[in-house]
Amino acid sequence: MRAFRVLSRNIRDSFKSVFRNFSLSLASISCIAITLIVVAVAIILTYNVNNFATLVEKDVTIVAFLDVDITEEETKMVEEEIKKLDNIENYVYRSKTDITEEMMDSSDIFGSIMSEWKEEENPLQATFQVKVIDIDTIGDIANQIKGINHVDVVKYGEGMVEQLVSVFDSIKNVSLIVVIALILVTAFLISNTIKITIFSRRREIEIMRLVGASNINIKIPFILEGLVLGIIGSILPVVITIYGYVAIYNKFGGKLFTQIIQLIKPEPFIYLVAIALVTIGMIVGMFGSWRAVKKHLKI
């Protein structure tokens, strides 16, 4: 009960102190807010990239077009070669006839034209559709397939997916560096704010010591002040994250750029991100104030 009263008094004092030095607090709060917005972007990007990378990986197929005049034996040889490849999940052979029938089914116009074709005239190529296990290896495997005799061309989404993944990966890496730098700056700023609070309350601290407040009791209000700064600083980023992500998700109908890039559903994702932001804000705030207290509140 007694500890509770002391704590509630300390929390009240921390809020008071934040508003007493408001211009100073505002600098820290803005810095936390900016940091956390970048953190939010980084988290959202990372999870979405990981998400669509896994989605894409599930459906990544290399299509190998065989020579038009390939024989049945030669096709067997190509198949043997494909079987030998590492890192492939499965493959499907589709003969000229399969493809022709499929196309004729899909459209009446195709149907009427194609029905006239003789076997030798058919310009379509038989294909092997090879699914790879890991998207990172898709380029290699495509090259290997291309090197097989009687394989004419190889296609696999023209590298778009790979490029996208690598672009998002580099954004992820850059934002990680930016986040670390921002966190350091923020911690420093908070530490400085608390330092000034400590100096402006020297007299109070002196009297607290004199009348027998324990060291923890003297230090806690300052640590709490950092915590309060962190919490206040995370309000705006949380609001932006929740409303911003939902808006983007709705605008693009959950898809970005192409059909294959599926955004993560907002719920509960945004709430988890919000919790992460508040937690990071609190930790950075406490870390900054803890440093200031350690350095400037020698008792």
Partner 1 sequence: MNLIRMKGVNKQYKNGVTAIYDLDLTIEKGDFVFIIGSTGCGKSTLIKMLYREEKPTSGKIIVGGLDVAKLRNGKVYKLRRKLGVVFQDFKLLSKLTVYENVAFALEVFGLPKSEIHEKVLKVLDLVGLKNKAKHYPTELSGGEQQRVAIARAIVNGPKLLICDEPTGNLDEATSMEIMKVLEEINKLGTTIIMVTHDTNIVSLMKKRVILLDAGRILKDYEKGTYTHEGI
Residues that bind partner 1 (CB under 8 A): 2-6, 9, 203-204, 206-215, 217, 299
Q: Where are the alpha helices (DSSP H) in 85-201?
A: 96-106, 108-114, 138-146, 160-200
Pairing of strands 88-94, 61-66: unpaired
Please state the closest distance from residue 298 (CB atom) to partner 1, in A: 9
**Residue number, 176 or 208, with CB nearest to partner 1:** 208
What would the two tokens of residue 14 be?
A: 């921390």
Please state the closest distance from residue 291 (CB atom) to partner 1, in A: 19
Residues 6+ apart with CB under 8 A from 93: 75, 79, 126, 127, 128
**Residue number, 166 or 214, with CB nearest to partner 1:** 214
Please state the closest distance from residue 235 (CB atom) to partner 1, in A: 28
Please state the closest distance from residue 58 (CB atom) to partner 1, in A: 59
DSSP string, 91-114: EEEE-HHHHHHHHHHH-HHHHHHH
Please state the closest distance from residue 255 (CB atom) to partner 1, in A: 57
User: Where are the extended beta strands (E) located within the chain?
Assistant: 61-66, 88-94, 127-132, 151-155
Please state the closest distance from residue 190 (CB atom) to partner 1, in A: 24
Residues 6+ apart with CB under 8 A from 278: 231, 234, 238
Among the listed residues 181, 193, 191, the one whose alpha carbon sits nearest the alpha carbon of residue 19: 193
**Residue number, 83 or 203, with CB nearest to partner 1:** 203
Distances (CA, A) of 259 to 162, 163, 297: 15, 16, 58
What would the two tokens of residue 208 be?
A: 């607290």
Please state the closest distance from residue 263 (CB atom) to partner 1, in A: 50
**Residue number, 6 or 85, with CB nearest to partner 1:** 6
* Rounded-to-integer distance, Cα 92 and Cα 128, Å: 6
**Residue number, 170 or 214, with CB nearest to partner 1:** 214
**Residue number, 103 or 208, with CB nearest to partner 1:** 208
**Residue number, 6 or 256, with CB nearest to partner 1:** 6
User: How deeply is 59 buried, as exposed, middle or buried, from its count of CB atoms within 10 A (0-12, 13-18, 19+)?
Assistant: exposed
